[in-house]
Amino acid sequence: MPPPDPSSGPDAPRTPNAATPVPPSGTWSGRFGEAMTERMQRFNASVDFDRRLAAVDIAGSRAHARMLAARGILSSEDLAAIESGLATIEGEIASGTFVWQRALEDVHFNIERRLTALVGDAGKRLHTARSRNDQVATDVRLWLRQAIDELDTQLRALRRALQDLAERYADAIMPGFTHLQVAQPVTFGHHLMAYDAMLARDGERLRDCRRRVNRLPLGSAALAGTSFPIDREQVARELGFDGVMTNSLDAVADRDFAIEFTAAAALAMVHLSRFAEELVLWSTSRFGFVALADRFCTGSSIMPQKKNPDVPELVRGKSARVIGDLTSLLVLMKAQPLAYNKDNQEDKEPLFDAVDTLGDALAIMTDLVASGLTANVERMREAAREGHATATDLADYLVRKGVAFRDAHEAVAQAVREAEQSGRDLSQLSVDELRRFSPRIDADVFGVLTLEGSVASRDHLGGTAPARVRAAIAAARREIASDPTKGEA
C-alpha cells in the first residue's frame, strides 16, 4: 500500500486555490475516449454565469453532507473535512482568489473539484445520493427565494416613496385621462396611488410565487430518487424550505417556478413602464406637469437646450428585456420531455437578467420618486380646466334634479358643443345659457362645475376626493407595516 498523500485529506495544507488539472476526458469518466474541443467547452459550459450560485451551492452541499452523516452514510471525519473545505472555498470566493475553470463546466464541478483537492476522498463522497440535476434545481430555488425577498423589500421602498409624494399632492388637481383625452378632474395624489395599488399587487404576486419556489428538490437525484436512506425533511428544515417536492421527475425537470417569477417580474416592469411613460409625457413642454431633477436626465450631443428624461425612458425600454426573459423561459420549457434536459442550462441567464433588471429599475425609480420629482401644480390645474372636465359632474347634477341619465347626457353634450363653438369652457357658460339645454339648471350649478367641487364629490372608497386619498395612503402604510410575510427566511 502506498504511503498517504500529504497533499490531500482533512489535514492537507490550505494552499491558495490553483487550477486543478482536468483529466483528458474532461470532467467525465473513462466512458469517453476523447477530450472536448475548446469550442465544445465554451458551448457546453455555464460557469461564466452560474458561478453566482456559489454561495447557495455551498449551503446546499453543507446541508446535504450533514444529513448524510446523520443517516450514517458519511463518517463524522468526512463531514468535518467537507465542512472545513467548504469554509475554505467560501473564503476564496469572497476574496476573489478562487480560480474558476471553464473546462469544469459549471459552478458545481468547480466547487467539487476544489473541495476534493483540499480534503481528498471526503470531497468525492459528498456527491453520494444526489445528482447535479437535483443540486442545480435546489440552488436556483435557494437563490431565487433570496432574490424575491430583496425585490419585495425594494417594492416596498418604492411604494413608500409614492405614498409620501401622493400625500404631498393629495389636494393638487390635474386632469384625468381616457384615450389620452381630458376626462374628469382627479388629484395628483390619487393618480400616484393608482401605481401604489399596482405595485401592491406585484408584491402579492412575488410573495405568492415564493411559496411555490420554497420547495426542496434535493433527494430526487438524477430523476428517480436514490437508494440511500436519506432524510429529505432534515435538509429542507436546515435550508429553510417549507417542504419537499413530492415527485422526483417533476422536481428535476420543471422550471415553472422560474417562469412564474419572471411573469410576475415582467408585469411589475410593465407597471413601472407605464409610470415611466407618463413621466416622459408630463415632463415635456407640451404638458409641463412635472420636473425631473437634473441628475436623472442627460443632455444632447448637438442640441444644448435639451434635457432628456433618460431614467424613465430606460425603465420603459428595459421592460422589454424582462418580457423577453419570460418569453425565453416559456419557449425553453414548452417541448422538453421528462426528465432533465441540457436545455435547462439556458434557464439561468433569463432568470438572472429578470431579477437584475427589475431590481435596478425599482432602485432608480425609488430614488427618482423620493428625491427627484416635482409637480407643477398650477400647470396641472390649468390643464384640468381644458376639455370640459366637469361635464360628467353637470350630468350627475341633472340626474339629482330628476332628469334621466341618458337625457342628462344629451343635454350636457349639447352644452359642450355650444361652449366649444364659443371658445369657452363649460364652466364659463352663464346660467341662462345652460338653461337652454335643461330648465332644471339653477345658480347652484357652479358648485359642481368647479374643479374642487368635482374632486370633493368623489368622496367614497376608491374615490379621488383629497380626504379619500389621504385615507388610502394611511391604509397602504398600515398594510406595508403589518404584512405578516415580511421578514420570511
- Annotated catalytic sites, by residue? 179, 300
Which residue in this structure is represented by grid cell 498523500? 5
Residue with cell 358648485: 447
> In terms of Cα–Cα distance, which of 101, 61, 100 is closest to 81?
61
β partners of residue 178: 181
- At residue 92, what is the residue type? E
Q: Is 225 left (phi over 0), alpha (psi -120 to 50) or beta?
A: left
- CA–CA separation, 464 and 470 (whole Å): 10
Cell for 118? 483540499
Q: Are 373 and 292 in contact (CB under 8 A)?
A: yes
Which residue type is seen at 364? I
Write the DSSP assignment of 275-326 as a string of letters. HHHHHHHHTSTTT--EEE-GGG-B--SS-TT--B-HHHHHHHHHHHHHHHHH
- From the centroid of its chain, how far is CA 352? 11
The residue whose grid cell reads 444632447 is 300
Instruction: Please choose, from the candidates 279, 309, 281, 280, the residue with its C-alpha nearest in 3D space to the C-alpha of residue 296.
Output: 309
Residue 44 half-sphere exposure, CB side, CA atoms within 13 Å? 14
Cα–Cα distance between 426 and 458 in angstroms, integer? 20
What single DSSP character describes residue 37? Answer: P
The H-or-E segment that residue 183 falls in is strand 181-187
According to DSSP, the β-strands at 373-375 and 290-292 are: antiparallel
Separation CA 184–CA 107 (nearest Å)? 57
User: Cα–Cα distances in Å, from 373 out to 165, 269, 291, 366?
Assistant: 9, 20, 6, 10
DSSP states of 220-237? -TTTT--SS---HHHHHH
Of 54, 50, 49, the C-alpha closest to 94 is: 54
